[in-house]
Every structure is written in C-alpha cells, then in structure tokens.
Amino acid sequence: YDTELTKPCDSTACFDELHGSLGDCSCKVDTIDFFNNVKIFPRIQSIVTKDYFRFYKVNLKKECPFWADDSRCAMKYCHIKTCTKESVPGYETGYNNEYVDETPATKYSKEAQSDCKSDLDHDPQLGYLNMTISAANQYEIAKWKVHDDAHDNFCENDDRDADADYVDLTLNPERYTGYKGPSAHRIWRSIYQENCFRPKLNPYESFPYVLSSDLSNLCLEKRVFYRAISGLHTSINIHLCSKFLLSEKSLGFVAPPEGEWGPNLEEFQRRFDPSQTMGESTNWLKNLYFVYLLEMRALAKAGPYLEQEEYFTGNPTEDEETRQAISNMLGVIYSFPEHFNESSMFKGGSQVETLKNEFRDHFRNISRIMDCVGCDKCKLWGKLQTQGLGTALKILFSDKWNSPEADPSSGKLPLRHKSHKKLQRTEIVALFNAFARLSNSIRELENFRIMLSSLKETKLNVFGNVPDRKRSGEAKKEACSSGAEKPRTWS
C-alpha cells in the first residue's frame, strides 16, 4: 500500500466533477450514466455481435494524403486480421447487390410494371417523353451523382474501393496497441489544430491543443464540432485503458495465448485525473457524453428509416433477430427524455451555408487524416468511428435528412421507399458500431469509478482516519457487495 499511497492521484478525482450539466444541451451526466448502463449498453453490445454488424468493409491501404507515413507501429498488437470474401455471410447473394435494386432482366418485366396505371387517360403520342441520353451524357451525369452524394457526405467512403477488405471486428477488438509518440501526436495535433476551428491562432506550442476555457468564444456549431472530436478521443483512450496489456507470454506470466488484457487504473488516472491534465480532463470526459448524445439523437432521427432496413446476411432467422433487436433498442432510444436538439444549429444569418460547408469539409478532412494513422488496428477503429460520427452528422445536418416531410416534433423521419435509401451498408455498420464504442466507454467509466472508490476506501482503512463503522468488517462487506474489488480480465 505504501508505494501506491505516494502516487499523485490516489483518489476519485477523475470523477469528482463529472456530474451535472453537460453544457450545450439540457441533459445531465448522471441521466446518461443510468440510461446507458442499464438500458442501452446491453442492447447495443448484443446488436453489434450480429453478422450484419461484425463485418466492416474498409480500405486500410490508402495513402496518407497529407504527409509521408513514416512511423508505422511495429507491435504485433497493431496488426489486424482481414476476412476472405467467402467467409462473410451473405456475401455471394446479397452483399454486392445493394446498389442494384433491380436487375436489367427483371426491371421491365410485366410484373415489375404492375404498379403502372393504364394509359387510357392520356395520349401516348402527345405525352411521349424522350428519355434518350447519349452515352457521353450518361457518363457525365453519373459523375454529378457521385459529386452530389460526396457533397452530402461527411466522410470519404471506402466500400467501393478495389483495395477495401472485409474485417471481422470481433477478431480485432479495440484495445491497447502501444501506438503513441510523435506519430500519434501528429494525428491528434492535426485534428485539433488544423481542423477543429481553433479558438485562437496557433496559441499552443504543446499540450493541451485546445483549452476548454477558450471554447466559450466559439459559436455553438464550432464548439459542437470540437466537443465531438474530443469525445471520440476520450473514448479511444478509455478503451486502451480498459483493455490494457497486463502481461505478455514472453514476459513469463501465465496468460491467455495473446497475453492478458484488462483495466489499468494507473493509466486511466494518468490520462483523466485533473491534476495531470491542467484541469482539462473533466471536460474531455464530458465531451464523451456529449458525442454519445449526438449519435443517439442521430439514431432517433433516422429510426424509422433504420427500422425499414433489411439487415440482410442471407440467414433469415438471424436477420429477423437483428431487425427485432434494432427495433427494440430504437424504441428505448425514442423514450429518452432529453435528446440533443440539433434544430438550434445552423439557423439564421447569411453565413449559415458557409459555416455548414466548412463544418462538413473540416470533418471530411479528419476522415482523411485517419489514413495517416500508423497502426492498422488504430486506423481500423479510427476510420470506423469517424465514419460512424460522420454518418450521424449527415443524418443531423444534411438537407436530405431535413426534408419538409420530416416531423421534427416526434423526432422521427417519415418512412421512405427503398429507392430513397440514403445510407449505405458500411455507414449503417459504422454508425451502430461507433455508438456501441461510446456506450462501452461510458460503461467502462463506471468500472473505473468503482475501482477507484474501492481503492480509496481501502487506503482510508489502512490509515484508520475513517469513521468507526468503516473500520469494521462492514466496510469490507460494502466493497465486496459493490462487486468492485476484483478487476475483470479480458481474453
């Protein structure tokens, strides 16, 4: 105990101020804790183990567009295992059909035309519409569509790249990889300094890149942008603390085949104790809750559309289970009383369109920076989570999702015909998995909170400066009943 007691952060300081209002919305930290840990976490974790959500198509071989990728992570924990196409359920029958709703052979059949009205009520000759478009024009128009779609997107989409592979996410969990130092810092610095609407011109030579106190100078939209990125950063760092490499076979410990993984309390304190972070960490943690709210609101808004999806994998039983699980979770999400209110953003003033374009362009840049991450596993999860967040932002802010038929008061969009499909498979996979990561981080915070209070109590007992009741076996009983005394291990 003596050694531990000399450490700078031996208290629950990481959590002391993590209560109350989140800022920029009406919701409170404690409300989200309960809602997530009890209602959402078990549901979303089960959903992302379904085949539809396990396989993510991504190109990890894209060149970094901003600088030479000079510092690749050599640790074995950085590597990822890709899947062959044949091992992806439903690949042959369904995965590639998503952009082609009708095959040329069936498209003009009598059955396919059965919805067409009789032509007795018009003169076919006078009403003839010449639909001919030259091959050259068709080629150009196809480019317009790609351009317009891209314009609406907040991320680059890899899934049609020849170099994209399917990755089984369950085989490549997000956890500690040892990726750090200049390469990792360059990524975070670029994200914050070049793409996060910096509050001041180049004010910080080193850490932290942005001071929370400067955020009040920003307009709501820019603050939301920064907080979303910072929340994602928090989530990534919580995951590496909660699935840290505790021992390696090579070090002679008895451990599962790939080493033993579990929570590292010291690492967590180093990153999130206010005394170690110039008082910034409480805000970073709040930003995690903030981005969680943002993504949850996107799920609520797109809910009726998502409830219409097939979630096709070629296994009817599993597909039905997936649809039901999603419908069930969305029902719970609709019931959340304090959703993020995006309707106050990008309102009024002549600069709104410019700001919206900037917002989208900055985010697209961040998604491209992910190609510069020098560790494949970090890159995989970085790309997936930025694509998930980008999809959420698209749902919240792009014009296509804000059509006049939308019903903002119910927080839902109307049901749409399949041909109006607005999200691709990879976007849906990324959206749910990204939300699952945030949900998991909030749940992991609860574990760290319990571990820290348990540690604090033990130390107080050793010194004896606690009320009599606590010195007795009662205190021990309490610690045990909280289930906090034993850190979990992961394989």
Ligand X SMILES: Cc1cc2nc3c(=O)[nH]c(=O)nc-3n(C[C@H](O)[C@H](O)[C@H](O)COP(=O)(O)OP(=O)(O)OC[C@H]3O[C@@H](n4cnc5c(N)ncnc54)[C@H](O)[C@@H]3O)c2cc1C
**Closest among 227, 201, 398 to 298, alpha carbons compared:** 398
**Closest among 426, 443, 442 to 386, alpha carbons compared:** 426
Nearest approach in angstroms of CB 177 to ligand X is 4
Contact 290, 22 (CB under 8 A): yes
Q: Which two tokens stand for residue 365?
A: 């840049």
Nearest approach in angstroms of CB 315 to ligand X is 30
The verdict on 309 binding ligand X (CB under 6 A) reads no
Tokens 């802010």 identify what position? 397
Nearest approach in angstroms of CB 272 to ligand X is 9
The verdict on 179 binding ligand X (CB under 6 A) reads yes
The answer for residues whose C-beta is within 8 angstroms of residue 330's C-beta and 6 or more apart is 299, 300, 303, 306, 307
Coil vs helix vs strand at 262: strand
Q: Residue 42 — φ and ψ, nearest 5°?
A: -60, -35
Angle between helices 220-242 and 352-369 (to 10 degrees): 20
For ligand X (CB under 6 A), the number of binding residues is 26
| CA–CA gap between residue 279 and residue 284 (Å, rounded) | 10
The verdict on 284 binding ligand X (CB under 6 A) reads yes
State yes or no: 416 annotated in a binding site.
no
Task: Report the residue number, 17 or 321, with the smaller CB distance to ligand X.
Answer: 17
Q: Which helix (H) or strand (E) holds 165?
A: strand 165-168
Residues 180 to 209 in contact with ligand X, rule: CB under 6 A: 180, 184-185, 187-188, 207-209
Contact 85, 91 (CB under 8 A): yes
Is residue 378 flagged as an active site residue? yes
Q: Residue 80 — φ and ψ, nearest 5°?
A: -120, 155
Applying CB under 6 A, among 51, 156, 174, 273 the residue interacting with ligand X is 174
Of 27, 73, 196, 378, catalytic: 378
Task: Report the residue number, 179 or 336, with the smaller CB distance to ligand X.
Answer: 179
Task: Report the residue number, 233 or 301, with the smaller CB distance to ligand X.
Answer: 233
| CA–CA gap between residue 259 and residue 237 (Å, rounded) | 20
Applying CB under 6 A, among 15, 176, 397, 432 the residue interacting with ligand X is 176
Q: Which helix (H) or strand (E) holds 245?
A: strand 244-247
The verdict on 237 binding ligand X (CB under 6 A) reads yes
Mask 216-235, x = binds ligand X (CB under 6 A)? --------------x--xx-
Task: Report the residue number, 94 or 279, with the smaller CB distance to ligand X.
Answer: 279
Candidates 86-94, 131-139, 178-186, 423-431: pick the segment binding ligand X (CB under 6 A).
Answer: 178-186
The binding site for FAD comprises: 175, 177, 188, 230, 233, 271
- Residues near ligand X (CB under 6 A): 174, 176-177, 179-180, 184-185, 187-188, 207-209, 230, 233-234, 236-237, 240, 271, 284, 370, 373, 377-378, 381-382
The residues carrying an active-site annotation are 375, 378
